[in-house]
Amino acid sequence: MLPPAPPKGGVKTQEQGTLPSLSAASEATLPPTLEGAAHFRFLHQAKDFGQPDAIDWNYPAFGKLWTYHLNYFEYLRQPGLDPALGYALVEAWMAAEATHRDGWEPYPISLRLVNWLHFYGRQGHRCLPPSVHTSVARQYFTLLRKVEYHLGGNHLLENALALSLTSRYLNDGPGRQRADNLLRAELREQYYPDGGHYELSVMYHLILLWRQLDVYAFLPPGDQLRVTLHTTLEKQLAWLLAMLSPSAHYPHFNDSSPGVAPPPQQVLAYARQLGFSPAAGILKDSGYRRWRTDRLDVWIDAAAIGPDHQPGHAHADNLTFVVHLDGQPVIVDAGSGTYEKDARRAWERSTAAHNTVVVDGKNSSDVWGGFRVGRRARTTLVAESMDTLSARHGGYPGHHRRTFQLVEGGLQIHDELRPRTSATAYLHFQAGLAVELRPGNALVGGLSLHWPANPARLTDYQQALSWNRWQAAQCLEIDFTGSLTLNIHPTT
């Protein structure tokens, strides 16, 4: 498969640009993904190709997402990476570029362009070697022709960021204007006024925030895009801080999993090194809430499932919640561990995989096909004060209304179904915690849960600890008709 043709006149006609001197703060501290000269570990699946020139850049055995990661070149950001190995990997990719398949798709091109430019900038290069410059230009013009307007969301935003960054290096004035216009439009569309990203995944919020910091770091003072990014980054950082617990935990609502995005502490440190002084904002427009007592951290999902035109990372999780005690997770989201279109992916997106109410065994929103959503539950905020939030959704006949209230150091949750119907409330507990179940009461992880004498049972589920990593855990299912009141308190 030949790479796309360069623009008329050839890529070498593009003026050689200059790279700024970039800080090592842009390096990621995720678990190492490059464990040898060509030994890669992505998503907890490893493959050793031996040497860079033997890498199969289309390696299919672990699925498309793994191959995407191979072509992202995020491993160039790995602390302590020998620059000589980085250069060899870039050369190996270029030598085989006529055979690449997934690597020429717009999303991996976008990430690779940013990672290559930052890698060479961090090594002190003022310009790219001629062969790398030619490849960067070829990838840039390919991306210009293949912008993912049809997907939107984080893909389109990554396209715009890569084009804005690379157009500046290549001194492509028309391309720069087009890219900046697209980036500004997507920043306006994709972020709520409170700073949250509209796909409502903290994991993707962190990934996109990191990438925008990368572009910001590249821009010289006086660049108007730098002003635009500064404004939106301040809001995004404020939203992130509002979502984080003091121990930097966050809920894994929608598609989200530990160990995929850069750690929040590192994102915040990167921002501070670039001159930001982040402070927590107020969660509002995004629909998420976080409450804190002396011992409890509570996250509430009173949000939409995601943007109507792109709900690919959405789950059927309206009115779910998460609770940590003394900084430790107890009531948790089941998480996301795969993007394969299989039964596990279907369950992880289902209503029964979240801490909310299921009626007649059905999902509140029609999630299907891995990244599709048909009928959508719409959440409406009914009332809110400092210690109370009441919201409802119409994902079932009539509506499900749920009221959260802080009471005497604990949390009370009242569910009401109109018309009265039979349903089941689900509570998923952190893997490794033992649950003691009694009539109308359960003890788990230092929390005491009380409800009326409704039938209840413990079932097993698989909690996603990271991508392709699951651990057996327990779930409490409480049957009720019409209404249910649940009280959650620390045991001591």
Q: pLDDT for 47-64, tens place per residue? A: 999 999 999 999 999 999
Whether residues 250 and 347 fall in one domain? no
Is the residue at 240 inside a domain? yes
Rounded to two decimals, the pTM is 0.94
Residue 329 lies in a domain: yes
Out of 273, 298, 326, a domain closes at 273
Is 60 exceeded by the pLDDT of residue 454?
yes
Q: What is the pLDDT of residues 149-200, one digit of tens each?
A: 999 999 999 999 999 999 999 999 999 999 999 999 999 999 999 999 999 9
191 plus 318 within the same structural domain: no
Long-range contacts of 172-180 (CB under 8 A, 24+ apart): 172/14, 172/140, 175/140, 175/144, 178/144, 180/224, 180/225
Are 251 and 346 found together in one domain? no
**pLDDT of 13 above 60:** no
Average pLDDT, the chain: 94
Phi, psi of 3 (to 5 degrees): -65, 155
Taking residue 121's Cβ as centre, other Cβ atoms within 10 Å add up to 21
- Tell me the pLDDT tens digit for each residue of 266-305: 999 999 999 999 999 999 999 999 999 999 999 999 999 9
Is residue 5 in a domain? no
Q: Are residues 227 and 355 in the same domain?
A: no
Q: Is residue 4 assigned to a domain? A: no
Domain co-membership, 229 together with 313: no
Domain boundary, last residue among 241, 273, 305: 273
User: Is there a single domain that holds both residue 297 and residue 400?
Assistant: yes
**230 and 341 fall within a common domain:** no
Residue 431 lies in a domain: yes
pLDDT band at 24 (very low <50, low <70, confident <90, very high): low
- Contact, 208 vs 167, CB < 8 A? no
Q: Tell me the per-residue pLDDT of 238-268, one tens digit each, with 9 for 90 and over.
A: 999 999 999 999 999 999 998 899 999 999 9
Quote the CA–CA distance of 110 and 112 in Å, as a whole number: 6
Please check whether residue 302 lies inside any domain of the structure: yes
Tokens found for residue 47: 């493959």
Compute the distance between CA of residue 458 and CA of residue 239 in angstroms, rounded to an integer.
35
The count of structural domains within the chain is 2
Q: Helix 83-95 crosses helix 106-122 at what angle (to 10 degrees)?
A: 150
State whether 314 and 251 are in the same domain.
no
Of the candidates 273, 300, 331, which is a domain's last residue? 273
Same domain, 301 and 423: yes
Are both 265 and 293 inside the same structural domain? no
The answer to whether residues 256 and 349 belong to one domain is no
471: Cβ–Cβ under 8 A, 6 or more apart, which residues? 431, 432, 462, 463, 465
Could you list the residue range(s) of the whole structural domain that residue 330 is in?
A: 288-490
pLDDT in tens, 105-118: 999 999 999 999 99
282 part of a folded domain: no
Q: Do 332 and 398 fall within a single domain?
A: yes
In this structure, what CATH number is given to the domain that contains residue 159? 1.50.10.100
